[in-house]
Amino acid sequence: MKRRIVMCAVALSLALLQSAAAARPVKIGFAGGMSVPVSDAKLAFKNGFHGKAMVQWEAPVLPVGLRGSVGYSQMDLKSAAAGATDKAKILSGLANVSYGFPVGPIKPYIIAGVGAFNIKTDVAGTSSPSQTKFGIDGGAGLQFKLGGIAGFVEGKVENIFTDQGLSSAIGSTQEFKTQIIPVTFGIFF
């Protein structure tokens, strides 16, 4: 009886090690989508777009992953005159932790992290000084296999810790909470 238990444990261990070796734990990804300002930020910004480059590490036998990303977002200012090109630009660097729920070919996950956001506005052809602020983000997504690559779709809330938001950059005396929801579609190689 003990011999069968040991043999089963060895076989299970070898199967787990083999599947872990077959799956690459580090993946590179690219993504993009729509950036939707919410809360007070929707009073100042129109919907925009974003793009991201990412590196992701997934634990071979655990549902936990780590992701680092660099992103660029751009949104038009609502106060812009007709034909004007007034824009808010945000460059971000984020570190995230994800927890996946493997339930078949589609893997739902939750994700949260911290990072830095460099914010700059271009109003009437002149650029404001950029501000770098810290922030947090969190959300959920779905990852699915596409042959040798993995596709994903996710939605997060990015909360940038701005003491006065972007109010000085857009000529407002009102303080803004800077919260943006990026809806992202992407792939991992």
Measured between alpha carbons, how far is 18 from 12 in angstroms, rounded to an integer? 10
Q: What is the pLDDT of residues 117-170, one digit of tens each?
A: 999 988 877 778 888 999 999 999 999 988 889 999 999 999 998 765 454 545
CATH code at position 131:
2.40.160.20
16 located within any domain: no
Q: How many domains does the chain have?
A: 1
- pTM of the entire structure? 0.79
149 located within any domain: yes
Q: What is the pLDDT of residues 71-116, one digit of tens each?
A: 999 999 887 555 567 899 999 999 999 999 988 889 999 999 999 9
7 located within any domain: no
pLDDT at 15 exceeding the cut of 50: no
120 located within any domain: yes
Most confident listed range (85-89, 166-170, 176-180, 181-185): 181-185
User: What is the span of the domain harbouring residue 57?
Assistant: 25-188
2 located within any domain: no
Q: Give residue 7's pLDDT.
A: 62
